[in-house]
Structure 1
Amino acid sequence: MSNDPPDVRASHEDRDRAVDVLRIAGGDGRLSTEELEKRLELALNARTLGELAALTADLPDSRPAPEAKEVLVIRQEGGKYVQDGRWLVPARIDLRTQLCRVTLDFTQAVITSSALRIDAEMAHGRLVIVSAPGMVIDTGGLNRTYSKLKVHSTDWTAEPRLRVELAGTLIHAKVIERRPRR
């Protein structure tokens, strides 16, 4: 928060910052799903800066990460495109590729939202999704021509940490979900 005394009333902006910190900590695996939900509820109902500070005090870095781009645009012909390591997952990915292998690795990604939409127009390529725990992939929005899907995490009855919705057109392409290597 700021250098204000802890008994100062919290603003909507103060609560939003605390919620961002908590979501990032949850995405990093620092908080269980249950603990994250409990702390988010407390943050949204907090009256003072002290109450908000107590919710993030045990987290190593209580500053929120920079804002994720609303849309990540991937346009490429040939070659490889890899998004891995610690990256901020946007709300949407616009994927336009031809003769290209794209890898999206979510194992160390900072997930700040519960949903990601990938709008794909792929020809003669491959999309490899390295999934993280609590992630499900919905391929129902894909139109496929001579294309294959190898997706394992499709249990929509559970409450996933991240729902990935794939939509668009695949021509002679593959979508493969891979589990992280240990």
Structure 2
Amino acid sequence: MEIRLMFGEAKLDFTHAVTIHRTLHVDVDLRIGGNLTLVTRPGIVVDTDDLERGSGDIKIRPASGPDTATLLRVQLTGRSRGGDIVARPPRREFSEWLRRTARSSGR
């Protein structure tokens, strides 16, 4: 998969993804204002070790603990020259937030 962004945003939502392969290679070219968000679930790991970074923020929040088996590794390669990358679990729905409950993993 290739993603090229400048002054735009893209969101890849893996919360309901059916995976056939163990690794997804994503070649990115993010420039000023090009922001990439990856929404993950337990078992999906985002790897940015091979990403060349000039500026911009990279924030990876794991969706699960260290003992969870890896179902899919999303490997980001390429360059980030001013764009931000965020990997995070899904946000809670408003009713879950009010009750202070975590999102169920079965959704």
Percent identity of paired positions between Structure 1 and Structure 2: 32
Q: Determine which structure has the larger helix proportion and give its number.
A: 1
Contact 2:5 2:35 in 1 (8 A): no
1:130: how far off?
A: 0.4
Q: Does 1:165 align with 2:75?
A: yes
Corresponding residue to 1:115 among 2, 17, 23: 23
2:5 to 90, 93, 97: 97
Structure having the larger proportion of residues in strand: 2
Report Cα offsets for 1:81-114 as digits up to 9, x if no partner: xxxxxxxxxxxx1111211101000111221211
CA distance in 1, matches of 2:66, 2:77: 16
Structure 1 distance, partners of 2:54, 2:66, is 25
TM-score, normalising length: structure 1: 0.46
Trace 1:118-133 onto structure 2 (pairs within 5 A): 118-124=26-32, 125-133=34-42
Q: Which runs of 5+ in 2 are unaligned?
A: 93-107
Cα distance change on mapping 1:101 and 1:117 into 2, 3 Å:
same
Name the amino acid aligned to 1:98.
M
- Structure index of larger Rg: 1
Change (3 A) 1:111 1:173: same
Aligned residues: 90
Distance 1:157 1:139 in 2: 20
> CA separation in 2, counterparts of 1:181 and 1:174?
19
Tell me which of 62, 80, 102 is aligned to 1:153: 62
Q: Please, what TM-score do these two structures have when normalized by structure 2?
A: 0.75
Q: Which runs of 4+ in 1 moved over 4 A?
A: 154-158
Q: Distance in 2 between matches of 1:119 and 1:178?
A: 19
RMSD: 2.0
